[in-house]
Amino acid sequence: MLACDVTRDGELERAAAQVRDAMGRIDVVVANAGFGVVGRVDRLTIEDYRRQFETNVFGVLRTIYATLHDLERTRGHLAILGSVSGHLATPGGSPYAMSKFAVRALAEALRNELSPGGVAVTLLSPGFVESEIRLVDNQGRLKTADRDAVPKWLRMRSDTAARKIVTAIEHRRREVVITGHGKVLVFVARHCPGLMSVLVSLSGYRGRADPGRL
């Protein structure tokens, strides 16, 4: 396993070169790095939003620039991790939702740009999956002592989500919403946006708390 920081120029090029040396070619690239900045806009700063975009958006772009020529040579596959939050923005989650709306737009544009060269692009949009993302604070620090606020029954097992991702890549799917609840939310957000707005308002949902401030 190779470690690199997607917010630092040059690190992904170094990692890609090591992969080429070890494996000879790159056929599939998954742009997966990300975390979530949360909070009301009046309690966040421009720097909070910048930090969010540096990982979730520019980190994806750095991944693409470091490997695009490889994918063009192999007529390979680029998978971009979006989110249900890339279809539906909720209170207290504007930085994360903005970043995922941005990568959804990127995936849609690149799908048509890269297809003439044989490169497939898949947008993967998970809902709640078992991971550490909700235990990472606004500074990107993991709070291992905290518990996930999302109930276990609502979280998809990570190995199940991984199998769905692999299947989507194998079949060169355009977009896959990973979880059942995510599919429902995306459908309602797309086809009945007014209803979704009412449901969010009635739910009283105000977003999750930053683990660093608990």
CATH 3.10.180.10 describes domain 11-213:
no
Domain segments of the chain as ranges = 11-213
Q: Which residues touch 7 (CB under 8 Å, ≥6 apart)?
A: 54, 55, 58, 59
Q: pLDDT tens digits for 33-89?
A: 899 999 999 999 999 999 999 999 999 999 999 999 999 999 999 999 999 999 999
The distance between the two most distant Cα atoms of the chain, rounded to a whole number of Å, is: 55
Q: How do 120-125 and 77-81 pair as beta strands?
A: parallel
Structure confidence at residue 94 as a pLDDT band (50, 70, 90): very high
Catalytic residue among 49, 65, 96, 205: 96
- Which amino acid appears at position 31 of this protein? A
Is 165 in a helix, a strand, or coil? helix
Indicate the DSSP class of residue 141: -
- Give the burial string for 86-115 (b: 16+ CB within 10 Å, else e): bbbbbebbbbbbbbbbbbbebbeebbeebe
pLDDT at 80: 98
Q: Which residues touch 129 (CB under 8 Å, ≥6 apart)?
A: 155, 156, 157, 158, 161, 178, 179
Q: pLDDT tens digits for 172-208?
A: 999 999 989 999 999 998 998 888 888 888 776 666 6
Rounded to two decimals, what is the model's pTM?
0.88
Is 79 in a helix, a strand, or coil? strand
Structure confidence at residue 213 as a pLDDT band (50, 70, 90): low
The yes-or-no answer on residue 65 being catalytic is no
- ∠ Cα 134 126 209 (to 5°): 25
Q: pLDDT tens digits for 117-149?
A: 999 999 999 988 888 777 788 888 887 667 777
